[in-house]
Structure 1
Amino acid sequence: MGNQEMLDKLRDAIVNQDINGCAGITQEALDAGIGPVEAIEGGLSVGMKIIGDKFEAAEIYLPQIMMSAKAMNAAMEILTPLLADAKAGEGVGTAITFVQEGDIHDIGHRLVTTMLGANGFKIVDLGVDVPNDDIMDEIKKLEGSKVLLVGSALMTTSMLGQKDTVEALVEENLRNSVKIMFGGAPVSDGWIAEIGADATAENAADAARVALDIMK
């Protein structure tokens, strides 16, 4: 089997929500000489992009996209140690992901976190209902590194907290040391410009592309 056929199998494992089979196919790809970055970029991420497009077009729904994410996670359990060994994500940076304080809606957060990890980011997942103090502490730990702050808010009330986060970064003299990407149903390009963040994305699949672009 050629490399492209192997990558297509990885892609199809994600598209078909093959949670049980994806890890085995990932190991098969590695045994065939495909590197971890190539497996992600040429196979797994392609599958997640297809899933993201189908979700956006209302061809599939949240249960299917979460099953694809689980299949991706099964593959990433095998690939992540290899990425660390190869320092494959070093040139991309660290993504600190979280759901804004006062909000516990985490489906979008988990999908975006998965997509960023699949595209070479080292992930620090702070979880849900995260206060600004915790965010500032985590950024300070990563001083001197390339850092992307990725916050999610599903409600208008928690979205307002994104402005507070940017203001806290300014007060702590940390704003220039990070790139900021906020997402969530009420978040718009206009809101991003108003609060002084860097970017938003329409969906989880698009988030990885936007994140890589602003980290260049």
Structure 2
Amino acid sequence: MTNTEIFDKLTNAIVTQNIAGCAQLTQEALNAGIPPIDIITKGLSPGMKIVGDKFEAAEIFLPQIMMSGKAMSNAMEILNPELEKTKVEGEETGLAITFVAEGDIHDIGHRLVSTMLGANGFEILDLGVDVLNETVVEEAAKRKGQKIILVGSALMTTSMLGQKDLMDRLREENLRDSVKCMFGGAPVSRKWIDEIGADATAENAAEAAKVALDVMK
């Protein structure tokens, strides 16, 4: 099998919620010498994007999303130890505080972004889903003086509005200049990022890691 065929099969395994098959294909890809980052960005991540698009179009529903997420999680259990091997001690780029906005529990993209940031040298503080802005501000305040990027995601327009509130809170607490802010999710656009005064957004998890590295320079 060529690498392209393996990537296509991985993508299909995610889309069809093939939990066991996804794990098996991930191991086969590693055995074939394919780098873990490529397995994620060229195989698994495209599958999750298709799933997200189908969910947005109401072609699939929450149970299917959860099954695809389980397939992704099983693959990541195999890949995480390999990703750890590629990290070099002392090369941390900074602390990424990752979270899903209050009122939102869609964590597949969030977990993928956290994984990619960790693989690219960031220390990760994962606050999880449905996170209050107060919690994010408190965690940032505790670590004032460190190199910090806040990485928040929102899949719904309603939860996206909380990103503006978070930016306002950071300014009120005199923390805005201490942190970089990157937000993502289906409804988030560059125009929105500019409007609320954040630093960056990204189309997908692989791009998020590149953007975060650039923002932290």
Q: TM-score range by the shorter chain?
A: 0.7 to 0.9
Distance across 1 between alignment mates of 2:143 and 2:73: 26
TM-score by length of 2: 0.72
Q: Residue 175 of structure 2 is aligned with which of 167, 173, 176?
A: 173
Cα separation, partners in 2 of 1:124 and 1:38, compared to 1, 3 Å:
same
Q: Which residue of 1 aligns with 2:151?
A: 149
* CA-CA distance at 1:143 after TM superposition: 5.3
> Deviations for 1:15-35, whole angstroms, at most 9, x for unmatched residues?
211112222221121112112
* CA-CA distance at 1:154 after TM superposition: 5.0
Q: Which residue of 2 aligns with 1:115?
A: 112
TM-score by length of 1: 0.73
Distance across 2 between alignment mates of 1:53 and 1:155: 15
More moved, 34-43 vs 169-178 = 169-178
Gaps of 5+ in 2: 119-123
Letter in structure 2 aligned against 1:208:
A
Q: Which residue of 2 aligns with 1:12?
A: 12
Contact 1:97 1:127 (8 Å CA) reproduced: yes
Distance across 2 between alignment mates of 1:143 and 1:84: 26
Partner SS state of residue 79, structure 2: helix
Contact 1:113 1:125 (8 Å CA) reproduced: no
> Deviations for 1:81-122, whole angstroms, at most 9, x for unmatched residues?
22122129966973511332xx3x413xx122133145x123
Q: Which residue of 2 aligns with 1:24?
A: 24
Q: Residue 97 of structure 1 is aligned with which of 92, 96, 99?
A: 99
Contact 1:54 1:60 (8 Å CA) reproduced: yes
* CA-CA distance at 1:135 after TM superposition: 1.4
Contact 1:93 1:121 (8 Å CA) reproduced: no
Contact 1:181 1:211 (8 Å CA) reproduced: no
Distance across 1 between alignment mates of 2:144 and 2:22: 33
Contact 1:200 1:210 (8 Å CA) reproduced: no
Alignment partner of 1:53 is 2:50? no
Letter in structure 2 aligned against 1:130:
V
- Number of equivalenced pairs: 204
Letter in structure 2 aligned against 1:85:
K
Q: Which residue of 2 aligns with 1:62?
A: 62
Distance across 2 between alignment mates of 1:84 and 1:6: 23
Q: Residue 208 of structure 1 is aligned with which of 197, 202, 205?
A: 205
Partner SS state of residue 28, structure 1: helix
Distance across 1 between alignment mates of 2:67 and 2:31: 25
Distance across 2 between alignment mates of 1:18 and 1:173: 44
